[in-house]
A and B are shown apart, each in its own frame.
Chain A
Amino acid sequence: MDMTVRLPRGLTLANPVMAASGTFGFGPEYGAYVDIGRLGGVSAKGVSPDPWPGNPPPRVWETPGGLLNSIGLQNPGIETFIAQDLPFLRESGTRVIVNVIGHTVEEYQRVAARLEREPGVDALEINISCPNIKAGGMSFGHDPDQAYAVTQAVRAVTDRPVMVKLSPNIESPARIAEAAVAAGADMISAINTLVGLAIDRHNRRPALGGVTGGLSGPAVKPVALRVVYEVAQAVAVPVIGMGGIAQVEDVLDFLMAGASAVMVGTITFQHPNRMLAIIDGLPAALAVHGFSSLPEIVGVALPTRRQESGR
């Protein structure tokens, strides 16, 4: 079965399974464990114009079926990323997606503009979950107008495929997705982590150095599926689904809910090679469920498609 995924602006993935941003480093780290060239793509850890120090440790805390993290988007800045990590990713044979972060609209735009001069970047993923320091620290992803402004600023400086990554910590992710698409986003990716808190009982304080953290892993999958399902109905562009994928059946669920491709994050910490196992198992899993091609499954669980098929 042909596993190729054709996305806007000529972005073509060898298969629909990509590594999620922040869980696969800036590229080289997993090289000794995973045949990166076989992945559908890699979304690198978020990159800002200048280095960000990140949050004080501890930065991770295990929760039932999940993981709470407060890394704080530590990154060495775009110049170091381009010099140290991009060459490896470019040579790895996979599709390279750069996850873009900023504290202001201009910072997002600077990263996108700087990457425009670099070969070997296949797409940009705009992480709008960052706090906007010019708007009292509320995240860009919480307000359709700010999501529009960031997307439009990035769109103005790049011809590359742009996906906007949604935060699930809002009432209507679909409204944000609509704003991003109106501003020129080619795709929507969802979801980022869910805000949570853990208590360190021994020390009688919040467990994470950053106090609150983002929940990921199998525990968040139902939330992620709900967001993908809503967004896929709200916008006409492809949706990249993620959140709690741990096995091939999870991927089928996301595809049925309307995702054209997926990203896989937290499970990689346990099983570095799980993404490859999922890729290998996907054709058989699709066949078991009666699909003879990949596009056939995308969105079959959506109301419109159910009406067509009478299910």
Chain B
Amino acid sequence: MAGEYDVVVQAVRVPGSGYVELVLESPELAQAVPGQFVHVLTPGTLRRPISFSRISAATATAAILFQVVGAGTAWLAGVAAGQTVNVLGPLGHGFPVPEPGRAWCVVGGGVGIPPLFAAVQRWGGQVAASAILGARTAAGLVMVEDFAERGTALTLTTDDGSRGEAGTVLGPFKRWLRAHPDGQVYACGPTPMLAGIAAATRGHRAFLALEQRMGCGIGACLACVVPVHGPSGPRYARVCSEGPVFAAERLAW
């Protein structure tokens, strides 16, 4: 159940320079749905939202993987195994269960990759997944080995061509979509990438995990909104509580 928890950091991993993954001991967080997130207490005036990168009910752990981009993530990167962090979570609505019998593709850009691994970890056994993962440079392609270990069909892209295809994920994604007209898509990444996916997937089963600057993280302050289609025109929906996962066709971009 969602709540405020002090959780022990069981292990700290460094998947690449500037990236850190914390494994958190928590039976409550281990009940999370892929796509949900925690709101982590840091020394700033606001908490920091970070998605689950792995969820394991069996070991009563859940992990978060983040890039160090500012003061909050820099502080979090300094937390050592055995120390405690305070989180609110699991928060928001995660991805739905993928429909069996339909090809499934996860498309991740940069730090949008971790929640998609959590989805493949949870459901990849029932529905075979293809993954198209992209980043600016090779260093940003996190969790590639984790996908590979699960036998996920992988396509990699980097903006600078340092690993995989040069360019963004949209090229290989559009090829995948043409080959799988009935396919379902889960995506997370920078807004231009998600907007491109939303435009390409009209009429498809497509779910996008969004980011927005947050205050409370639990639906109370109306900070974290995105425009969605409502019964009487566009309205602002809260990413933290109505998302972060939205059906692509609901978004009014």
Contacts and interface: CB of A to CB of B under 8 A. Distances in A.
A96 to B, nearest CB: 16
Contact of A57 (B1, B224, B241): B224
B30 interface: no
B63 interface: no
Contacts of B219: 25, 29
B225 interface: yes
A269 B222 contact: no
Interface stretch (B118-126, B140-148, B210-218, B243-251): B210-218
Interface string A73-111: 010000000000000000000000000000000000000
Contacts of B214: 60
Given A272-B88, A273-B4, A57 B226 contact: yes
Interface in B87-129: 88
Interface stretch (A61-69, A155-163, A173-181): A61-69
Interface in A2-39: 22-25, 29-30, 32-33
A32 B222 contact: no
A268 B39 CA distance: 13
A269 B46 CA distance: 7
Given A54-B236, A61-B213, A272-B88, A33 B3 contact: yes
- Main secondary structure, interface of B, reads loop
A67 B45 contact: yes
A45 B45 contact: no
B79 interface: no
B139 interface: no
A270 B44 CA distance: 9
A62 B45 contact: yes
A71 B221 contact: yes
Given A60-B46, A217-B45, A74 B222 contact: yes
B8 interface: no
Interface in A113-158: none
Contacts of B217: 269
B216 A29 contact: yes
Given A29-B220, A54-B225, A57-B224, A266 B45 contact: yes
B193 interface: no
B46 A71 contact: no
Interface string A36-55: 00000000010000000110
A180 to B, nearest CB: 27
Interface centre among B1, B88, B215 (most CB of A within 10 A): B215
Interface string B141-176: 000000000000000000000000000000000000
Nearest to B213: A58
Contacts of B74: none
List the 4 closest A-B pairs by CB distance, nearest first. A25-B220, A29-B220, A60-B223, A58-B213
Interface of B: 1-4, 41, 44-47, 88, 212-226, 235-236, 241
19 contacts: A29-B216, A29-B218, A30-B220, A53-B236, A54-B222, A57-B236, A59-B223, A59-B225, A60-B46, A60-B214, A62-B44, A66-B45, A74-B222, A74-B236, A266-B45, A268-B216, A269-B45, A270-B45, A272-B88
Interface of A: 22-25, 29-30, 32-33, 45, 53-54, 57-63, 65-67, 69, 71, 74, 217-218, 266, 268-273
